[in-house]
Structure 1
Amino acid sequence: MQKWRFFVIKIIVVIMLLAIIWRLYDMQIINGQGYKNLSDQRVSANIVEKAPRGEITDRNGKALVTNRRGYSLRLQKTDVKDEEFNTMILKLFDIFDKDGYTLEDTLPVSADEPYEFTFRDEAEKEKWYKENTGISKNMTAYEVLDYFKERYFADNVPQNSLRRLIGIRYDIRKSGFSINTPYILASDVPVTVVSRIKERSGEFPGISVTKDFFREYTSGKVAAHILGRVGKIYKEEYAELKEKGYSLNDLVGKQGIEKICESYLRGENGTKSAFYGKDTDLLKGNTEKAAVPGDYVVLTIDSELQKVAEDSLERNIKNIAAQGAADGRSNRGEDACAGAAVAIDVNTGEVLALATYPNYDPQTFSKDYDSLVQDESKPLWNRAISGTYTPGSTFKPLTAIAALSTGAITANEQITCEGIYKFYEDYQPKCWIWSEQHLTHGSINVSQAIVESCNYFFYETGRRTGINAISEYAKKFGLGEKTGIELSEEVKGNVSSPEYKKTLYKDEKEQRWVAGDTIQTAIGQSYSSFTPISLANYVATIANGGTRYKAHIIKSIRSSKDGSSVYEEKPTVTEKVNVSEDILKTVKDGMLGVTDEGSAKQIFAGYPINVGGKTGTAQISKKSSNNALFVSFAPFDKPEIAVCIVIEHGYRGANAAYVARDIYDEYFGLNRKDDVNAQSYDENDIHNVLLP
């Protein structure tokens, strides 16, 4: 019996050994290659599945920013030595060069010889030296490259590729690259590049191809300053963003709506398990948590109106510059180069258009960045909310409101313009018509003074009213204050006042407020400077009867899941200005006269909709053309929209009114194809319109 048991055990052992031998034979001989391929895939990874960002649309649902799928090259940390790694990067350069794809980096040294530092300012320079302690401030750009050449073991790298390689390695180190933190080596890579890398996958250890979402700005440059952009997370940002679930390879909103609405647009990333293969792909596995797309942001702007505003700004600025140059005399608009246009709903505070010229293309922002920063016309600057401008005669309606409200003048009172204001012995400024034509405006009331833009009338009115009342009413109408628009770049501007003047000078004598300051403030000169959006909101407040609304550009936010409302912006009243209807009617009648018989008559002659407006010509320097401004609202009897136009060095205020007319044409549906040239710029207009 015992022998039988022993025999059975031996049989079992033999069978087990035979099974093991057969299994080994199967794995190594019969299906060896298959199991080898499978083993190549057995590097498991938990992959973050990126959520697509939410779309951004205009008020009518037209998509302004969407997503598209593309490829990225992801670098995983391996045991590759520095020299081998450098060789691998150089091979990538060869592949990229064949397709014209350029790897970008943030090393502050120019891409080509002669090498120079590319710091934007001293603050950026100081910060960089603090972060790179091994580099002396006395080093030249060439010496900095030599420092990194030694650090990255790049002695054998060809000179024509050295700067590029150092830049990439610098960014990899700066990103916190580690086993747990891969690095996105290249984004939005062409399919041809991906194919070549896959064909030579054995030459690129640690590099995988991933599919990502990329932002698509569907209308080119339109609304670029509003929409903003996304970009890589900076190392100094990461500490805070890490707590919110971001990784260093994530993109985050950097400017505009992309930044302001980041928490809504980003969505929720998902996760999936997969295997990392030698063919450079992260192999598909099981989805553990599905990604949730970001919410949709609906803006208040009308994208068609926005485009008209931007196109009109560009066209008219170029025309002014061309005609100014043809004039032959200096300071006739030949230096016109930039401007802004704002259109706002007078009854809600909704921003319908917010245009700045020049602008930029957010789709090519990274590639164009160096040239954009160096451009003297500052295309990255959102002039509509960040630029502050002396208002010129566009301020006169405000002075009239302050004077009428305080009883300094009455609606029917007439003041006689004598050309030269001689109330003060030591300061006797002239009315513009005296300076231009050696004429006077005669005896006129306040409405007529707005039509004629009589400086003399407003010198006297300003003197009687006093600076305190003028500055107080300016603030009531939102001048020198932020409008409340969601965009973070908004500045508040400044109202001319004794208190503000003291902040401008250190010397007590220069700080002293004098009578001339008051009367210059009254005509929109002196120390006042306002943003185009605050000027638009000020006129909207006049137009609607004295209700100042908070300006806003976000209409609503919608869930990507079911389209339900996540957030709705409601009209918000900032202030109800205590001013009588009679006073506002007196002022508005004057503004109607500006387009009927005053300085904007030529632009609005025969226009089917009554427009109330005021031109402004603000002197900036004797070495440059005056700034041109135009503020307005329409329809006059039942206002819907207020518009402000500013053209830097536009020569005369009326020149800015052409842009406003184009905006009204689009808003009221008057820009028919058969009338396409009705609002075109006349080469003689510069010489025919009146100064204010």
Structure 2
Amino acid sequence: MRIERLTVLRVLTVIIGIILAARLYSLQIIKGEAYLAASNARSTAIVKEKAPRGDIKDRNGKNLVTNRKGYSVLWLKTNMPNDEINTMLFKLADVLAESGYEFSDSLPISQYPYEYTFTDDNKNGSVDDEKKAWFDSKRRLKDGMTAEEVMSFYADEVFEIKGEYEPDKLRAVIGIRYNAEMNGFSYSTPYTVASDVDIEVVMKVKERKSEFPDIEVLTEYFRQYEFGSLAAHTLGRIGKIYKEEYEELREKGYAMNDYVGKQGIEKICENDLRGTDGQKVLGAEDNGELLGIVNEDAVSGNYVVLTIDSELQMVAEESLKNTIEDIAAKGVGRGPQKGADANAGAAVVLDVNSAEVLALATYPSYNPETFNMDYSMLSNDDAKPLWNRAISGTYSPGSTFKPLTAVAALETGAVTTDEELICNGVYKFFKDYQPRCWINLEQGLSHGWENVTKAIEDSCNLYFYEAGRRTGIDALSTYAKKFGLGEYTGIELSEEAKGNMATPDYKKKLKGEDEEWFGGDTIQASIGQSFSHFTPLQLANYIATIANGGTRYRPHVIRSVNRAEDGVEVKRSAAVVEERIPITAENLDAVKRGMYGVVDEGSASKVFRDYGIEVGGKTGTAQGNAERSNTALFVAFAPYEKPEIAVAVVIEHGVRGVNAAGVAKDIFDEYFDISGEMPERYDVGELLP
């Protein structure tokens, strides 16, 4: 035994010796000259070689986000005299300005005429509070100074800029020097003056090297969104590290001028997408020439595969955009606006057997690649293109809630599948509150006796008033929770809204503790009006749960994380069951047949006339205020017999639910590879559910 141990120790000693010898050979022979050059250089700085972020792909492996090579201009700190620094930076600012480069820095002063820019609505506190905090952090500034006085102070006393310069050029150079100080500019930490510059800038800087002795151009990777704004809210964006983020991120190895995921997958998968930075030691010789002396290669981040089908996503976005613009242009109903105010919406597509997100569309949207350039326009757009309506927008569900009321009423025994309730146009159970059915309001008619299946098909308000009253608000809210309505879905994306189900407690929270809950509140909640507000994602998942027989899955948009070098899976998402809802086969069949009737003979039948796939659906119209058009909703699943996907579409001020049905049809066309044209829209009055 002792002999065996000695043998093992000898082998280990030999192996360690070989490793040390190899390392010594690398340091002395292979990189010896480089390290000698570094030690003899006048000054050195370690510059990160930024690792390429991992790609983001759709479920079929199509690249959605990749990287492209570009150039950044770095300023290396040396012992250059201050006046020479200023001369060099003014020349550099000229070169950048000639190329059309737009400077961006954190100096809170505008271009000439100089004014403070403490106007960010996302910040808390008043402008004066922000200004005071800024002055307090800059001890050399005096409280009460105007922006122009601050600029003069920086030019004359801080950076000692001599001579006369145009105001815009002066602002650019002061901004560069100010930002450099704010970002820890030092002998070992260069400052990035400009990112992603044109090749013309690179050529001029290199050709005029004697004028830019402390300027280095580095090749870096920049994010490229292959399809522009496609799935922008899901993919997200990257941006520079905010001051308040830096303390935490610095401990993870980030530099102040690094980029980090800010929203969407770019943010959620930051640790996976971020690679391992390499480094380059820059040395400055006595003649001022900058040399790259030692390199350590960067390692690319992992790539992320989404559940999104990019083709389906594209169809959903295009159909949503075209439909909204069509409604606004043509006018499709009565009322003061007639749909002219339609300007936004969302569409969600889920796999009913796993809650994989196949499409998550929001309109209007934005291009992550030009976010910084477009930010002012985007943030001031009344349609709020930066808002991810699919997961953050909450909407009154209108009649799309009626299938849930049907399930709750049937499962609690409040009604049965063959029981018929009377619709005579006016609900007279309450003496002091007698709402009417939509068909009575619109056409002066009534539905007569209807069972639950026919009531869903006709969207009969009176049937669901009575069914909801019998069921009660407690059972309705319990079933809403079971189906995930008014609850976080658990999707990986941040900024998801919870929404809310109308309940006595919520009414008190909304209107005050003294507010009572009346029977009228219950019956309005039963038809999806009242105070209930749900996200399009919640609506899609609720319909998927009905379609698959009562299993509610957690929606997810990340399919896997894979190593960049060989594609091996590092992580894999699995379907997660959130709730199994007991629904009898008889009750489920009655509800689904009602949804089939909506598409076959009801309010969505003209959209799906002679359609090649059997669909179950439900239109909805959420009533707004008198000055705005109603919101249009449509939820559906297909195929009817063996459901594969569920869809939810919401169009703000889209007048009526049937207008949203056209978007769902386009989605089904793409998914099931069906060709055909949608029939012309028809005017049925804005109160049609």
TM-score (norm 1): 0.88
SS of residue in 2 equivalent to 1:460: helix
Write out per-residue CA displacement over residues 452-478 of structure 1, whole angstroms, 9 at most, x where no aligned residue. 111111111111110000000000001
Match for residue 102 of structure 1?
102
Write out per-residue CA displacement over residues 457-516 of structure 1, whole angstroms, 9 at most, x where no aligned residue. 11111111100000000000010111111101212111111111121123x33x221211
Write out per-residue CA displacement over residues 150-188 of structure 1, whole angstroms, 9 at most, x where no aligned residue. 655568432243444444344333323233322111111
1:548 to 552, 560, 583: 552
After superposition, residues 266-415 of structure 1 pair within 5 angstroms as: 266-276=274-284, 283-287=291-295, 289-324=296-331, 330-415=336-421
In percent, how many aligned pairs have the same letter? 55
For 1:442 and 1:448, the matched residues in 2 are separated by: 11
Amino acid at match of 1:454: C
After superposition, residues 42-121 of structure 1 pair within 5 angstroms as: 43-80=43-80, 84-111=84-111, 115=115, 117=117, 118-121=119-122
1:685 to 658, 661, 682: 682
Write out per-residue CA displacement over residues 514-551 of structure 1, whole angstroms, 9 at most, x where no aligned residue. 21111110010111101100110000000000000010
Contact 1:653 / 1:691 at 8 angstroms: preserved in 2?
yes
1:501 to 501, 507, 514: 507
2:222 to 214, 218, 222: 214
Amino acid at match of 1:372: L
For 1:532 and 1:662, the matched residues in 2 are separated by: 17
Distance 1:335 1:149, change over 3 A: farther
Contact 1:495 / 1:528 at 8 angstroms: preserved in 2?
yes
Distance 1:473 1:282, change over 3 A: farther
After superposition, residues 136-285 of structure 1 pair within 5 angstroms as: 151-153=158-160, 156-276=164-284, 283-285=291-293
SS of residue in 1 equivalent to 2:96: helix
Contact 2:617 / 2:637 at 8 angstroms: preserved in 1?
yes
Distance 1:142 1:500, change over 3 A: farther
Match for residue 467 of structure 1?
473
Contact 1:202 / 1:278 at 8 angstroms: preserved in 2?
no
After superposition, residues 381-530 of structure 1 pair within 5 angstroms as: 381-506=387-512, 508-509=513-514, 511-530=515-534
Distance 1:592 1:203, change over 3 A: same
Write out per-residue CA displacement over residues 414-446 of structure 1, whole angstroms, 9 at most, x where no aligned residue. 111121212112212111111111111111111
Q: Offset of 1:149 from its aligned partner?
A: 5.2
Write out per-residue CA displacement over residues 364-399 of structure 1, whole angstroms, 9 at most, x where no aligned residue. 111111111111111111110011111111001001
Q: Offset of 1:148 from its aligned partner?
A: 5.1
For 2:470 and 2:256, the matched residues in 1 are separated by: 62
SS of residue in 1 equivalent to 2:618: strand
Amino acid at match of 1:294: G
SS of residue in 2 equivalent to 1:685: coil
For 1:690 and 1:498, the matched residues in 2 are separated by: 27
Q: Offset of 1:83 from its aligned partner?
A: 5.3
SS of residue in 2 equivalent to 1:478: coil
For 1:587 and 1:406, the matched residues in 2 are separated by: 14
The structure that has the greater radius of gyration is 1
Distance 1:154 1:380, change over 3 A: farther
SS of residue in 2 equivalent to 1:601: coil
Write out per-residue CA displacement over residues 65-115 of structure 1, whole angstroms, 9 at most, x where no aligned residue. 111111101122234565554443332232122222212224445546585
For 1:411 and 1:224, the matched residues in 2 are separated by: 44
SS of residue in 2 equivalent to 1:542: helix
2:586 to 556, 573, 582: 582
Match for residue 647 of structure 1?
651
For 2:317 and 2:648, the matched residues in 1 are separated by: 13
Q: Offset of 1:122 from its aligned partner?
A: 4.9
For 1:366 and 1:590, the matched residues in 2 are separated by: 49
Distance 1:527 1:290, change over 3 A: same
For 1:411 and 1:137, the matched residues in 2 are separated by: 75
For 2:42 and 2:82, the matched residues in 1 are separated by: 26
Amino acid at match of 1:185: V
Contact 1:208 / 1:281 at 8 angstroms: preserved in 2?
no
Q: Offset of 1:44 from its aligned partner?
A: 3.8
Amino acid at match of 1:659: V
Deviates most, 591-600 or 46-55? 46-55
For structure 1, the 5+ residue unaligned runs are 1-36
Distance 1:500 1:282, change over 3 A: farther
For structure 2, the 5+ residue unaligned runs are 1-36
For 1:278 and 1:417, the matched residues in 2 are separated by: 95
For 1:338 and 1:139, the matched residues in 2 are separated by: 44
Amino acid at match of 2:225: Y
Write out per-residue CA displacement over residues 543-594 of structure 1, whole angstroms, 9 at most, x where no aligned residue. 0000000100000011112211100001111110122121111111110011
Paired positions, count: 645
Contact 1:599 / 1:689 at 8 angstroms: preserved in 2?
no
Contact 1:342 / 1:536 at 8 angstroms: preserved in 2?
yes
SS of residue in 1 equivalent to 2:124: helix
TM-score (norm 2): 0.88
